[in-house]
């Protein structure tokens, strides 16, 4: 299967050996970040540094000033961790090494946006804001994400894009020094804690026949025994219906599913308008539509009617690829994403077996997270798996 490795520009720029080293893994493609959230990343082989601190979500290329003039929100340029056209510099070097470059665009995950413009953030039933999670129901946020998708995706030299977090973000998020695991929330509790009550979402619930104040009170009431440890919050969607009630739960899901679907449609259409013929558009996706996070919850049939395919988290369990494969979309890219960094829970030593199982379940391609973060031993295991040795 065709494989692509995720890479940051700072893994490549300033390291003349990086492009060849990545190509020698046996991948035909790289997925190179062009818009990315804040992070602290190891660079274990770079000749100039060992740790890169990206202080805030930024574009890793010069944004189009005419597109963004006078707009709020707007993308921020990166600091010294990715100055100038860091993406373009890295893309050129990787292309010269024989690799096909696709962009990696992070969208509805932006802590700096929430800090500078709090009104853009998801607000939970208790009134707490999630600054890392822009609310995708708000018109200005939707316009920002749609235009950012088009600009960051269609960079010179790129043959396609992968759009991450193109959907709802919620409570579950590796924020700075997270200390949120004291109460096991499970699927149901995570969903209730991720419901947004900003003005746009309150109006949306009203359109579904719900009173937003009553809904927020019902969420708090449903969670009260969970906080006390007296009631479980597991059980997937039936557990959510049990906690919140069937009618309320279904109405909230209808609003959120429709909001995510229409944003995905708009963003993909914007990318296609900006892109040359043959430009591939994939979404990082989870086949359970009410799930939140970097892998946006989607309806498999819908997303495969909009995009060219999906990138699906498969570390530890390739099962999530199967619902997309069951749609039988001829030509759709179904990329199984495996973490190959041992220190981050990956298992590069079992990559060959994991890839074979993913293929059996319907995967057509592989994604490897992450060529820049992995140790030399992890990369050796990847080379062995991809070469069949």
pLDDT digits (tens, 9 = 90+) for 291-316: 999 999 999 999 999 999 999 999 99
CB neighbours of 69 closer than 8 A, spacing ≥ 6? none
190 within a domain of the structure (yes/no): no
Q: What is the mean pLDDT of residues 31-35?
A: 98
222 within a domain of the structure (yes/no): no
CA terminus-to-terminus distance, the chain = 15
261 within a domain of the structure (yes/no): yes
**Does residue 177 have a pLDDT over 60?**
no
Cβ contact 337:369 at 8 Å: yes
366 within a domain of the structure (yes/no): yes
pLDDT in tens, 3-26: 999 999 999 999 999 999 999 999
Q: How far apart are CA 125 and CA 216, in angstroms?
A: 5
- Say which CATH number the domain at 78 has: 3.20.20.80
**CA nearest neighbour of 320 among 291, 361, 360:** 361
In terms of Cβ atoms closer than 10 Å to its own Cβ (0-12, 13-18, 19+), residue 267 is buried
Confidence of residue 226 (pLDDT cuts 50, 70, 90): confident
Q: What is the pTM of this model?
A: 0.97
186 within a domain of the structure (yes/no): no
84 within a domain of the structure (yes/no): yes
Cβ contact 134:121 at 8 Å: yes
Domain housing 160: 2-123+133-174+257-388
**CA nearest neighbour of 131 among 37, 262, 261, 8:** 37
CB neighbours of 13 closer than 8 A, spacing ≥ 6? 82, 86, 89, 90, 93
Number of compact structural domains in the chain: 1
pLDDT in tens, 268-277: 999 999 999 9
218 within a domain of the structure (yes/no): no
**Does residue 88 have a pLDDT over 60?**
yes
pLDDT at 161: 98
235 within a domain of the structure (yes/no): no
């Amino acid at each position: 299967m065709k494989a692509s490795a995720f890479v940051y520009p700072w893994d490549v720029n300033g390291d003349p050996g990086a492009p060849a080293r990545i190509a020698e893994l046996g991948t035909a493609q790289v997925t190179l970040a062009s818009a990315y959230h804040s992070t602290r990343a190891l660079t274990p082989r770079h000749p100039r540094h060992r740790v890169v601190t990206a202080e805030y979500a930024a574009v890793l290329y010069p944004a189009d000033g005419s597109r963004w003039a006078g707009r709020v929100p707007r993308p921020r340029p990166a600091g010294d961790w990715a100055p100038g056209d860091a993406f373009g510099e890295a893309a050129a070097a990787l292309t010269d090494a024989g690799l096909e470059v696709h962009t990696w665009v992070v969208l509805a995950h932006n802590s700096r946006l929430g800090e500078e413009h709090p009104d853009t953030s998801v607000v939970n039933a208790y009134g707490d804001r999630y600054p890392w999670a822009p609310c995708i129901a708000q018109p200005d946020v939707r316009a920002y994400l749609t235009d950012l998708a088009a600009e960051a995706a269609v960079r010179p030299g790129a043959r396609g894009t992968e759009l991450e977090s193109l959907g709802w973000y919620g409570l579950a998020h590796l924020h700075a020094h997270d200390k949120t695991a004291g109460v096991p929330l499970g699927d149901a509790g995570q969903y209730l804690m991720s419901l947004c009550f900003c003005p746009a979402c309150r109006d949306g619930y009203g359109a579904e026949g719900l009173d937003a104040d009553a809904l927020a009170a019902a969420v708090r009431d449903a969670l009260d025994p969970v906080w006390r440890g007296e009631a479980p919050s597991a059980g997937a969607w039936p557990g959510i219906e049990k906690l919140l009630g069937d009618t309320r739960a279904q109405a909230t899901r209808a609003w959120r599913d429709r909001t995510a679907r229409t944003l995905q449609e708009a963003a993909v259409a914007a990318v296609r308008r900006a892109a040359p013929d043959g430009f591939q558009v994939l979404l990082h996706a989870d086949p359970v539509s009410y799930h939140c996070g970097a892998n946006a919850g989607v309806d498999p049939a819908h997303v495969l009617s909009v995009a060219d395919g999906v990138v699906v988290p498969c570390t530890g369990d390739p099962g999530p690829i199967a619902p997309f494969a069951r749609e039988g979309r001829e030509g759709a890219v179904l990329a199984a994403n495996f973490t190959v960094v041992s220190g981050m829970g990956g298992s590069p030593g079992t990559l060959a077996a994991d890839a074979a199982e993913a293929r059996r379940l319907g995967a057509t391609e592989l994604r490897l997270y992450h060529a820049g973060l992995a140790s030399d031993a992890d990369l050796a295991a990847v080379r062995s798996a991809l070469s069949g040795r």
